[in-house]
Structure 1
């Protein structure tokens, strides 16, 4: 605590910042790290560095698939078809309350609310950039670098607001805060604004891959992600679900935006060709190896100062009897999606497959899912209903802390962490990895009818995952391959719910259905429902409402139509 340099190294190295109260308690006379403090912050480059570090705290709001105020890790995947939250009670089971009734979403309660948090961060960023211009004594090189990092975080923050609402208020500078009444911009304008921030960051940041800091590759990757969202909405929305004049993107822009996504993704591929990134041959190790070249942007944790509790939330009960929480577990709909080792589709109607359903499956399956008979931490899992960590029927207990599908989520668990109750967890959260960039590239190639190239990109990924090549010569067929790969490759990384929304397939996949699991009966597997009522997703949920309190405070802000 006596050495400011040590504090700075800790903050920069882990990207995780102490609260304001921490600095007050220690009475260190430096500016608040995530708040604008007049000219003082510009008197010392170290203070500016602290401020920039503070901006990166925004990524903690979404680490491990978290969503602010909504359950726990993997919360949005549990709103999709690949994960089932186990609890029925508010808090642990809020996700289940939302997915079972679309009417739970309203302007009064929203359900997915990031508006206040997001705009607070945007204000901090705009204050910082205003100070860079008007008060900073930093060199021009430092100013550009810090602006690039700030705009990277602002782009990320706006990206999340757009995922939710589709039309939001754009605040680019402090002058816009002089008038509290600001109207929403169009969806097209918003995506272009985000792209502009990421493009600026990509142009002005270095290539060095640093944990928890924006780099050229991370900015290009986020730019590719931004354009693929805009392109897929332009292609698929077609004003079918919302009459708001500011939502939706002209279908005519789809090819242009797919091209933009392809160009940004290819910039990352070029960096990979220089040796900066690569696909990891050992899929399971990606999520526990801090040196993996798949990580383009990651958040690191270092014990004992900065840890998380992912293992406590998802490990099977016998890992820490009486302590594990088992928030969510894989669905049968995800398990069935994983192929056989030879690339053929798995099917329960195939007698060879059903006789031994977890034999000879693709490598990603064994890295993602724990099943009955799996070996884990030196034991063989017995997930029969009568076992202490075996199957329990959903809704038979408020917080069962056991699987309700016959599976546990293995991906991202640390197999070497046998004392996570005391020591907690330190595996990194990878916000963006190279495999996602390749899948964005393949989707963009398909969107521009470069079908041969798209299939080649998909096969590049499949080859590294130990799978044979696939083939399709139709756009629909290639997109089906992309959707399959995203479902299994990116499972539990917080993409599936948002993918279904941007493809405008959520109302088809997530409505009027009950997802399932497999209960081991002693000699065979029985399909069991993991839901006690039908799921509900209506077209209105593609554009979620702005919190009503925000509309009341802002005379120029109109609620999204339909809400």
Structure 2
């Protein structure tokens, strides 16, 4: 059976100093900790130490308030996002996920430095030591990059502090130096892990190479090319330390060439990717199943996972396992936490590859028909067939279909009464959890009908890096280096798997098609937050108001309904798009939000730090 790294429950080993003593009763070892000498003298204890460092990955994509809630893609149901209102500051940094939180990431970086320092002198077998070092190099690069892509240049720390250290403060490295430092670790990791077979969930050569693809793709982007960024942002232009944000000189095209080579190296590895060898679009139903298999990590979709975190329900209370409770509609006693916006839903094309158009009467009358198959695997919409309801909802909705609108019951043309859908904020089941946008996320939701109670968990892996992201990185680098034929070939591989026709655009239209494809395919995978920034389109897409869907179903004349069910035979459905009410979230954009602020506590502890632009 293939071993899988699951959620680690052991505490971080305390590194303690053991001194000699003449009194035997004082010369005892604690029962819940391992001494440093014992830890690094034993291969198993050393592996346990390194294994614990993986816990810095946390819930990843499955966090209740994910990064997509801080983009135009989604709205968080339980509170305004200060970052989307440009209301963040060093004293109010908004919702910083623990996977980008300054202190949490440096805690993990420190642990890798402790491990690497000790692994250099261990006496157990060299192969195990080399493999553990390879994992630590990857994790150090990973955690440094989590900070780099959020804050810009950060202190790159590759040494361990000791009791003899007199100065614990350190300045931020330039963006250029950060990229070089991270790539150096990833190259070391790939070399040490070459040919090693590790449990799923642990670092690998492919993971190191794929993260390198991400780092270099970001580094080549407009946001980090300071001459370009200055032209697009007065805030960046006025910053006195632009070297912290990107490259102040050099050849941006050369950086794209490097990103292209790094991505192509992963594609050439072989053994990864799922159904990306098709020559034509597959059927809608097959495409839906394949897309679900990718995020469920089964049925061949597990080949997409290059670096992922896995769960065992019985052994973890991690919030990632509670994704169904956090996100199922309120009519199932879920919390509807992540709600796709109408802005995002409109980005799904029609099945024939044309852009959805509200001005076309046929499409406006049936907005959920004939859309990109990934829509049906990613978004709960009005009338979605789902699971049997819990006992209190089953009598009201015996069909298990989502109800996001207001409908009539009674007789059309006669006496009617309004009925508020079970999954709305007027529901008689936990109305405080109802969707505000008219949608709820479906992606990453286990379709197992047995998982319907809010007290049940799921075991869906949270993919930190998947193969298709690297494919997109390669496509983008091809576009930037004027290799459109190759870009189109690989873009259509992704579209064919999704059941969508080939793209034939060129020039700026092809770039737009690529960006839309990346957002739709990688929805809710922590991509949009960074992509819109590095492309410097955030002022347009993040500054727009949240659009929501309001649905009214009116009975057709002579039709009698006592228990509501979605039916175009019985109902005329009217779809109204409107902006979300003021006060729920008042979105606006300020260029300072390209680089969020370093928390004031960190600035006070380390006087060598320079704050990001717009927060001084």
* Shorter-normalised TM range: 0.7 to 0.9
Aligned to 1:221: 210
Q: Secondary structure at the match of 1:341?
A: coil
Instruction: Compute the displacement of 1:182 (Å).
Output: 1.1
Aligned counterparts of 1:97 and 1:353: Cα–Cα separation in 2: 32
Aligned to 2:134: 148
Aligned to 2:458: 425
Q: Secondary structure at the match of 2:549?
A: strand
Q: Normalising to structure 2: TM-score of the pair?
A: 0.79
Instruction: Compute the displacement of 1:175 (Å).
Output: 5.9
Q: Secondary structure at the match of 1:297?
A: strand
Instruction: Compute the displacement of 1:526 (Å).
Output: 0.5
Aligned counterparts of 2:167 and 2:240: Cα–Cα separation in 1: 24
Compute the RMSD of aligned alpha carbons.
2.6
Instruction: Compute the displacement of 1:260 (Å).
Output: 2.1
Indicate how the Cα distance of structure 1 residues 289 and 132 shifts in structure 2: closer, same or farther if over 3 A, else same.
Answer: closer
Aligned to 2:92: 109
Partner deviation per Cα, 1:516-539 (whole Å, 9 max, x = no partner)? 121111121001223525312211
Equivalent of 2:5 in 11, 14, 17: 14
Aligned counterparts of 2:452 and 2:424: Cα–Cα separation in 1: 24
Q: Which consecutive residues of structure 1, in runs of 5 or more, have no partner in the other structure?
A: 1-8, 67-71, 88-92
Instruction: Compute the displacement of 1:146 (Å).
Output: 1.3
Residues 330 and 405 in structure 1, CA contact (< 8 A), matched pair in contact too: yes
Partner deviation per Cα, 1:7-59 (whole Å, 9 max, x = no partner)? xx99x733322153999xxx995756xxxx42221111001110111111111
Instruction: Compute the displacement of 1:248 (Å).
Output: 2.2
Instruction: Compute the displacement of 1:399 (Å).
Output: 8.1
Aligned counterparts of 1:453 and 1:418: Cα–Cα separation in 2: 43
Aligned to 2:534: 502
Aligned to 1:317: 330
Q: Normalising to structure 1: TM-score of the pair?
A: 0.86
Aligned counterparts of 2:588 and 2:42: Cα–Cα separation in 1: 54
Instruction: Compute the displacement of 1:388 (Å).
Output: 4.2
2:343 aligned with 1:333, yes or no?
Answer: yes
Aligned to 1:544: 596
2:504 aligned with 1:521, yes or no?
Answer: no
Mapping for residues 263-282 of structure 1, pairs under 5 Å: 263-272=261-270, 275-279=271-275, 282=290
Paired residue total: 520
Instruction: Compute the displacement of 1:174 (Å).
Output: 1.9
Partner deviation per Cα, 1:477-525 (whole Å, 9 max, x = no partner)? 33212210111101111211121111122122222x3111211111210
Partner deviation per Cα, 1:114-160 (whole Å, 9 max, x = no partner)? 11111111111111111112x41133332322111111111111111
Aligned to 2:224: 234
Aligned to 1:187: 175
Equivalent of 1:361 in 366, 371, 374: 371
Partner deviation per Cα, 1:366-389 (whole Å, 9 max, x = no partner)? 111111122112522222134343
Indicate how the Cα distance of structure 1 residues 168 and 358 shifts in structure 2: closer, same or farther if over 3 A, else same.
Answer: same
Instruction: Compute the displacement of 1:420 (Å).
Output: 4.4
**Structure with greater proportional helix content:** 1
Aligned counterparts of 1:271 and 1:59: Cα–Cα separation in 2: 25
Of stretches 530-539 and 77-86 in structure 1, the one that deviates more from structure 2 is 530-539
Equivalent of 1:530 in 577, 580, 588: 580
Aligned to 2:512: 480
Q: Which consecutive residues of structure 2, in runs of 5 or more, have no partner in the other structure?
A: 15-28, 277-286, 389-399, 407-418, 554-572
Indicate how the Cα distance of structure 1 residues 163 and 296 shifts in structure 2: closer, same or farther if over 3 A, else same.
Answer: same
Aligned to 1:5: none
